[in-house]
A and B are shown apart, each in its own frame.
Chain A
Amino acid sequence: MEYEAVIGLETHVQLKTKSKMWCGCANQYGSEPNTNVCPVCLGMPGVLPVPNDEALRLTVLTGYLLNCEIPRFAKFDRKSYFYPDAPKNYQLTQYDKPSTQNGFVEFEFAGAGSTNGMGRVRITRAHLEEDVGKLTHFDRNSGVDFNRAGVPLMEIVSEPDITSADMAYEYLNALKDILIYSNVSDCDMEKGMVRCDVNISVRPVGTKELGAKIEIKNMNSFSGVRRAAEYEIARQIAAVKRGEKLIQSTRRWDDEAGITDEMRTKEHAHDYRYFPDPDLMPLAPTDAWLAEVKSRVVELPLARKQRFMREYQLPPPDAETFVNDVPLGNYFEGVAKQSKNPKAVANWVINNLRAKLTERNDFIAKQIAEDTQFGENVKLAANESLSIGVAAGGWKLLTLSDLLFQPKALLELVGLVEAKTISSAAAQQVFSEMFETGKSPATIVQEKGLAQVSDTGAIEKFCDEAIAANPNPVTDYKAGKLAALNSLKGHVMKLSKGKANPALVGEILERKLKG
């Protein structure tokens, strides 16, 4: 009999807020132990929680991004359990009335369980809770750092729609992209900002009934999740095939050994004694509040990529560049919308504009690092004829809004090349000049005399000169070495100071040599 895995994920994500969930302490990683603490997050006698509105907003924003419903009533409950990292020995969480529920996420995925290269996982809920402190074990005792206690933590619970370890991995990456993209979380695994528990069961292929749910904990990377899931699926299938009966339990992933070990079974499961926290009022978001949150909804990475490919006929790598660099993508869109040749615009934006900005910013960064004096800056700038990158107060890294040329200049440049008014070599020169000075392409072409010569009379003259001056290549070409034409072409271009229309040069040379 063949078996299949049924997987659901519970993903905890630290929210990117300035302060903690219930108090004003900094939500900051890496401080000295127990420095970002106060009576509230230490669970001192008599303190009360005050909800962090931004954390509530980020949770609801996530709900919108994951296509969730946003109920008009939500609340916080106390989840009771004793552990030294829990300052109150109960955790505030949203038990049965979460801030968001019933959504889905779609992502690029080609493996088992995919449809048309896409994976789809339903989201049960994304709810808000608080993080606990961090335990460190020493030789004879343990210490608790409460800096993390009370940091807003969002738990995203998926439906058991995942059928393989690879799919779980891609799902997690999709979540991470979405949350980073929308500024909900930095999702830094190394800093413990994302933690994930996996629920796995197996069942005979074709059956609907779910097997015993086994929860795997203690993975500290996405690849750890994938390895743990691979191991556990294989373990469960082997067990079932041996005739063993699996029971609901919790297991711990040992990353070094690459195995899972049983922690506790259902009989020993905690009774968390949830009840609504009487210190907090229920949440009833108003229309205005929801509208504000909704206005923060951004286009998600996958949707953006697909749209750029569709609307601008870009190949996937170009679209991905504009997904990963949002301002650059937005700049591109502004120009491409007015262009008949968006691909050419994309080439300019990616290969020239981005490259130039990177190169210049590397230079500026070096200058800043050297802490150059303002006066020297100006002199240096003048010497190197730089006119961009020097702000009144000294060096400043460039962004797209610092560009001296107008976006429509790029459109004009593409037009000049298309109309064969300038050669692509000349276009490079024009771009450099407009980048430095902000002058329009037409002005630069005129000032520098870069207009392409398509006057056949003039080109015929250059060709004759070239043929006369290069007897060897002429002989070679006539003997059948067609590549010899290139050296003649180069000579003509040199004679024309790069302005001759290369295509025309080729035609004329061929005619003359064959004739």
Chain B
Amino acid sequence: MLAVLNKYRSIFAIGLQSNLVYRWNFAVRASFSLVHLTFVFVLWGAAFSGQAGIGGFDLRQTLTYFVVMLVLQFFISAMNEDYEISEEIRNGLINQFLLKPINYYLYRFSIFVSARLVSGLLALLPMILIYPLLADKLVLPSIGWTYAAVIPALIMSSIIQFTIAYCFGLLTFWFLEIQSFIILSLAVETVLGGQVFPLDLLPKWLYDFSAYLPYYYQMYFPAALLTGRITDQAFIIRGLGIQFFWVLALLGMAQLLWSRGLRRHTAVGG
């Protein structure tokens, strides 16, 4: 068991080193995200003008939601893992993993965790720099016990994020070009993951429906827990249960695609 852990710890360390090489790319990306944050502040500031609340939350709570969402993106969301997996399949680089005692999913997941650690920490830098400007516009909830649910929610969110990207990458076994699938999926994930607007602003029936989809648990659920948009204990426990179901379902899907995909894969050359 320890030997297995050591194997993936080494992969994590290598991933950390190779991602630190791209530290400036992550830093530039994080800086650009501040432009998006400015857009969010302007739009919602104008929407709140003349009214105390929207959907039961005031402007500070709504802006806090978007700031938390932005930081979480850099810590837990899949960025270009789908493209990297696709490239490895297309170029035959996965052949080496078929001959070694390495689980490809865990290999990629170890690299994903190291990449998000680097990108997340780098994203915090511009946030810390502009925090004095933001401080009076943000507010975090004081309901301490919801934070206990945040940790498992975040871990499961990152697994869901990565596994969806992994599954899209594996589509390369069937399709030569998967970029359009990825961008289409990104649009769905962006909306139903709550990155465009807080999902609780949707009509109730649509919100209730979205809570059964995996996208809800990619970003919205942990962000809503962190910002106090979800506080009902029974709802949180039910949410963690559904999230756990999606983790298992997606892992099953990933395994199915991998085993079926390998049957189609032709390893040429050496």
Chains A and B belong together in one complex: no
Chain A: residues with CB nearer than 8 A to chain B? none
Chain B: residues with CB nearer than 8 A to chain A? none
